[in-house]
Structure 1
């Protein structure tokens, strides 16, 4: 197919659905002479999840465009990144990545014989490469190295020197793999610009860089291997897949930070050329879409129900995952999986204990939850399903909060109501307006979904602090680090008791005046 394409057609395939391309002119020049050599690297750390289908679908595009594609299993990088892969597990995790990624590529019909698979340690321990690492370290500033790795290398209070080496090694990979372009996520942009700056200092050519968007996970934030609630593992059962999709963030009409829609756009459309919504005839029956923008438009206008979208994506995902599940049912691959990712024993972990792995201690005292009073509420000008609320949380000015409560509670009921507000999330734009906090609600999934704002104790005033009983000590973070998914991890254990009382792991959520409650949603979740 690629031989029949013009250079412009090949360039279109190479660059479609990317968030950014650096050096497109260099790619255009190469295509006038020969096929482009692209490399994609993945550090062999946590288990790959379904978001990996996004780079897999781009690898399929590269091959259709005639590119020579190298897949790098960056085992040494995995160790350097704050030892996310312990040395004793490094080889096992690399083998797991090789098997799972080959299975993914086979499931979407990518011929493996057209790909080159390389392990980083096959060449990164050579005399020549090591000398280049020393040469680069004599030119690169600590500031540049730290800045380059900020979005990729795990950030800790006392960083290891290895994290500063990581970006330089990734830059050198472009030369040693003889690539014309490196492909990765937009979170690697600073490493890519570091490569463009420093490779010429060593006498090596500047490469092009192709960047995928980071698709949201199930909680509305970046899908992460380290955050169980945000991702679907490639080996999840059909039952687990259904359960996770059912809980996934997918507000009616809200197309922002919607991981379900993002998967349709960046995986299903490139691979299948379209998408089918399966639904009952009384709701319009099945509908086939050939343009993603029409799916997005219909969802924004609430012509597609979140339940129908999730069910249709579930069916498509099962079709992609079933060949991978079957391959990993063999004794050999089951043993490999358990050896590369041994289960963590968390029994007996009391207060103050780590939950296992390399996660830092998480305590609910990190959350800045306050009593607020809604002083005004109106419809979002660009989204019928969203309210804009001004909420007094005890500060000089009320905070602007965007919430998806239109379907559940009227403006009149919200006006002047006392509520609970999470105040230290990173502000996020929702349909063009920045939301500066999150209004906390109880909810129960089902048809229909039921949602109620939490109620502070009688006599509360704006700015009163909420806390979990037994965790009164500790100061809330000024702003929760979105990379560490503090809220997402703590939120999993926030529930409503059978007495309609808010709790975290069976500990009361309260203010100095008493318990925080909701009116009717026994056993609900808090989000």
Structure 2
């Protein structure tokens, strides 16, 4: 790769990527002077949010490198993935996605001449494509199809056949879009290797695969449309951006699972095109500081020379610059109407006598996905000033300030055992006053029949704010659990520790990304 132009283009294409499969083929195409064709597909399901700037910034890199880029609005894929997008809304959501993504590209000054958009159902229902789906299904095993979609297709107890078709369709897209490469997140790696294995079996060539790392959301986990605090909507107000960033997990010196820092690396620095990143500070705290590269910013943050509050303020300023033209566009009546139709809000109606309310059935499903459970660290614990049976704890759950939690552990767990203890906290109960002090969350504990109590423990190495999920359920927590609905109370009946002390709901393990949540010693105990 002696050609300097090849190196420049390769560096742009691979900037901030985690992995490239087929780098030698990519280099050869560039050396031959070819404009590499790349496609990125996005399933038209949940509303696009601020994290979409991560792939969009890579689209900008590809275009700057002279690539031909196709953006696929994968409407059929969205339906096949456990019917995340109802068939009746597919066309409206495609229109919404196209409008939003064009607005995002325009907000960062990306020319659209070498960019094209295509809808999956424009060719995925054709005779030849359909025949190839059948050809593929005759050689792919159930094991390979399920394995390929494990990180992408929503996993449920009784999967539909549609989820097994999903990886094969994504592989065939490479051939039918006539591209040299496919771009996506590293969570799609198994689909990419599936494509490399099976496309040649149909007589089609193997493609190059470019993979972004999974960028953490504001809570320290993957950004999700269904987890409100983990994402900023593209039409959020400047005040809302500031509020969400204030709550974002950004521990001093912690550069791992730091969504605020990651956003500067994968979006703000690439889009700055060499313009320095400004941290504004008062003179007494060192004054303003300019960073010409991300590596220096990360190093100074790790050394605690940059305060999280100053970083959040700078990131919020830049996010609002990105969002302002999008906000202005969606103030227009026709775009407001499109958003309302593509993502209708089910109106709540009063319950009929002896019947259920008219609220959406999905929102009323009683599953543990509705619980917002996080890892916490007890930073202080003392007796409640007005109750001998209660402790008053301050628990860090990865937000700007610790939450105040009142627990009934007095006389059952010594105070000295609680200080700095890593625990598990239910964070979306409605705050309630207990003897004059508001409790803002619930400390989850295992309770045996004889009354012994142990706070649940996260896996070793856990950090405050990490999300805990019940196996088989995605994160879809209510913003706040309504007391009259008794969601937690009804779920709690089936929350127990196993014979090996693992926290479960109806046999589904409660776990973080590091492993299961446990009670230190209480087996077959209820969880409260």
TM over 0.5: yes
Q: Is the 8 A contact 2:18 2:212 kept in 1?
A: yes
Return the alpha-carbon distance in structure 2 between the equivalents of residues 462 and 208 of structure 1: 55
> Judging changes above 3 Å, is the alpha-carbon distance between structure 1 residues 85 and 371 closer, same or farther for their aligned structure 2 residues?
closer
Q: Is the 8 A contact 1:371 1:464 kept in 2?
A: no
Q: Is the 8 A contact 1:493 1:504 kept in 2?
A: no
Return the alpha-carbon distance in structure 1 between the equivalents of residues 443 and 322 of structure 2: 40
Return the alpha-carbon distance in structure 1 between the equivalents of residues 119 and 75 of structure 2: 7
Residue in 1 aligned with 2:418? 417
Among candidates 454, 462, 466, match of residue 463 of structure 1: 454
Residue in 2 aligned with 1:397? none
Return the alpha-carbon distance in structure 2 between the equivalents of residues 365 and 327 of structure 1: 33
CA deviations 1:277-335 (Å, max 9, x no partner) are 11222211111101212111221222211111111111000000000111111111110
Matched position secondary structure for 2:454: coil
Residue in 1 aligned with 2:324? 322
Return the alpha-carbon distance in structure 2 between the equivalents of residues 56 and 456 of structure 1: 43
Q: Is the 8 A contact 1:367 1:422 kept in 2?
A: no
Return the alpha-carbon distance in structure 1 between the equivalents of residues 5 and 203 of structure 2: 32
Return the alpha-carbon distance in structure 2 between the equivalents of residues 139 and 101 of structure 1: 36
Q: Does 2:275 align with 1:276?
A: no
Q: TM-score by structure 1 length?
A: 0.73
Return the alpha-carbon distance in structure 1 between the equivalents of residues 374 and 241 of structure 2: 31
Q: Is the 8 A contact 1:370 1:462 kept in 2?
A: no
Matched position secondary structure for 1:157: coil
CA deviations 1:10-31 (Å, max 9, x no partner) are 1111111001111101111111
What's the CA shift for 1:8? 1.9
Q: Is the 8 A contact 2:369 2:470 kept in 1?
A: no
What's the CA shift for 1:367? 8.8
Residue in 1 aligned with 2:516? none
What's the CA shift for 1:116? 1.0
Gaps in structure 2 of 5+ consecutive residues = 380-394, 403-413, 432-439, 458-466, 493-528
The 5 A counterparts of 1:175-194 are 175-194=175-194
Residue in 2 aligned with 1:361? 366
What's the CA shift for 1:416? 3.1
Return the alpha-carbon distance in structure 1 between the equivalents of residues 317 and 63 of structure 2: 27
Structure 1 runs, 4 residues or longer, greater than 6 Å off: 347-355, 364-374, 401-405, 451-457, 503-507
Q: Is the 8 A contact 1:75 1:119 kept in 2?
A: yes
What's the CA shift for 1:345? 3.5
Matched position secondary structure for 1:147: helix
> Judging changes above 3 Å, is the alpha-carbon distance between structure 1 residues 47 and 366 closer, same or farther for their aligned structure 2 residues?
closer
> Judging changes above 3 Å, is the alpha-carbon distance between structure 1 residues 371 and 176 closer, same or farther for their aligned structure 2 residues?
closer
The 5 A counterparts of 1:227-266 are 227-266=227-266
> Judging changes above 3 Å, is the alpha-carbon distance between structure 1 residues 186 and 351 closer, same or farther for their aligned structure 2 residues?
farther
Q: Does 2:166 align with 1:166?
A: yes
> Judging changes above 3 Å, is the alpha-carbon distance between structure 1 residues 365 and 57 closer, same or farther for their aligned structure 2 residues?
closer
> Judging changes above 3 Å, is the alpha-carbon distance between structure 1 residues 25 and 302 closer, same or farther for their aligned structure 2 residues?
same
> Judging changes above 3 Å, is the alpha-carbon distance between structure 1 residues 190 and 346 closer, same or farther for their aligned structure 2 residues?
farther
What's the CA shift for 1:97? 0.3
Among candidates 436, 449, 474, match of residue 484 of structure 1: 474
Residue in 2 aligned with 1:294? 296
What's the CA shift for 1:128? 0.9
Return the alpha-carbon distance in structure 1 between the equivalents of residues 398 and 36 of structure 2: 46
Q: Does 2:115 align with 1:115?
A: yes
Instruction: Note the aligned Cα RMSD (angstroms).
Output: 4.2
Q: Is the 8 A contact 1:181 1:209 kept in 2?
A: yes
Q: TM-score by structure 2 length?
A: 0.73
Matched position secondary structure for 1:463: strand
Residue in 1 aligned with 2:50? 50
